[in-house]
Amino acid sequence: MFKGEVVMVTGATRGIGKSLAGAFAAQGAMVLIIGRNAAQAMAVAAEIKAKGVLADGFGCDVTDFTSVQETVNKILDIHKRIDILINNAGITRDNLLLRIDEQDWDEVIKVNLNGVFNVTKAVTKPMLKARKGKIISISSVIGITGNAGQANYAASKAGIIGFSKSVAKELASRGITVNVVAPGYIRTEMTEQLADPVKEKVLEHIPLNRFGEAADVAGVCLFLASKAADYITGQTIIVDGGLAI
């Protein structure tokens, strides 16, 4: 489905991002694995390539504006184009408002929101030239519903939605779509850190009665990046088993 297309996935060294990269590679795309650690990013790319598909890895901290620009330039030198961007890199630093410190607030906003700005801005230039592109950012259902103990995370993820709607309006006339996927509880290292009683409580509120898998998120991203979604922009698709109904 994506033969000849170049897909850049941030935060692809593990979890949802790694699964997204594998899903696009399996559909014929050249996938670019982005993570802070270059060796780790290249190792994941090698793992994907071992399956006989196309991948490359780059070390880049999405919070570093200059490094993001340099990485995108390097990618364009080597691979000539970026057709699809998935802004997936994200972190949590959970705490109640009264206990959250300035550093935990800043770190989450920097990675989850400034990171999306930095990478989207850098990638938009070649997409404008090509007059085509698909930008998908991974928000969270928490950015829509809010959650006690996650004010920083919720603010960053809600910010992604407002940012994406604005950029969707700016780029629509150039054939570039900008959409958001808001997952609920997906089983990854990030959520494995939660205590068992917390997990049990979350499960009670999921109508489909199971936690999500990275593949559930990948399915929606493949759709949004495909020709079938050419007339969809500025939208947020929730993938949460009904949690936020």
Catalytic residue annotation: 153
13 binds ligand NDP (CB under 6 A): yes
Amino acid at 102: E
List the one residue from 190, 194, 203, 244 that touches ligand NDP (CB under 6 A).
190
Question: What is the footprint of ligand NDP within residues 93-152 (CB under 6 A)?
Answer: 111, 115, 138, 140
Of 63 and 164, which CB lies nearer to ligand NDP in the complex structure? 63
- Element at 177 (helix H, strand E): strand 176-183
Copy the structure tokens of residue 188: 């990854």
Provide, rounded to whole angstroms, the least separation between the CB of residue 142 and ligand NDP.
7
Pairwise CA distance, residues 228 & 108, whole Å: 33
189 binds ligand NDP (CB under 6 A): yes
Q: Which residues have C-beta within 8 Å of that of residue 20, sequence separation ≥ 6?
A: 9, 12, 86, 88, 214, 217, 218, 221
Are 202 and 140 within 8 A, CB to CB? no
Helix (H, G, I), strand (E, B) or coil at 32: strand
Pairwise CA distance, residues 226 & 218, whole Å: 12
Are 82 and 76 within 8 A, CB to CB? yes
86 binds ligand NDP (CB under 6 A): no
Of 63 and 152, which CB lies nearer to ligand NDP in the complex structure? 63
| 210: phi then psi, degrees, rounded to nearest 5 | -155, 155
Question: Of the ranges 22-30, 164-172, 179-187, 228-236, which one interacts with ligand NDP (CB under 6 A)?
Answer: 179-187
List the one residue from 158, 183, 221, 225 that touches ligand NDP (CB under 6 A).
183
53 binds ligand NDP (CB under 6 A): no
| Residues paired with residue 177 on neighbouring β-strands, in sequence order | 134
Of 139 and 233, which CB lies nearer to ligand NDP in the complex structure? 139
Binding residues for ligand NDP (CB under 6 A):
10-17, 35-37, 40, 61-63, 88-91, 111, 115, 138, 140, 183, 185-186, 188-191
